[in-house]
Amino acid sequence: MDDGTYGLCEISGEPIPYERLEALPSATRTVEHAESPTPDERRPPEEEVMTRPPASEQDRPGEGKFDDAGAWETLERYGNAE
């Protein structure tokens, strides 16, 4: 505010819309020039290859419910470092 640049996009110099400043007073860029999320805001890349455990016993015929006690046995089926 002191240097007269508050409310102006630091990339284009265009005014940042009032609605954006009202919602995010610290905004320094217009939506068009907003940066992509920082790595901390993204989901972990592991989630792209993970599958959810079965929701119920019907999803895994012949086996019991999925719980932490059976997690190691489930992992062993996929192999290990040995």
Report yes or no: 54 and 60 within 8 Å, Cβ to Cβ. yes
pLDDT higher for 25 or 53?
25
Residue 66 has a pLDDT of: 55
d(CA 33, CA 47): 28
Going by the DSSP 8-state scheme, the letter that residue 20 receives in this structure is H
Residue 21 has a pLDDT of: 95
Structure-token match 């996929």, residue found: 78
Strand partners, 15: 8
Q: CA 10 from chain center: how many Å?
A: 26
Residue 41 has a pLDDT of: 63
d(CA 55, CA 59): 7
Residue 74 has a pLDDT of: 74
Mean pLDDT on 51-70: 60
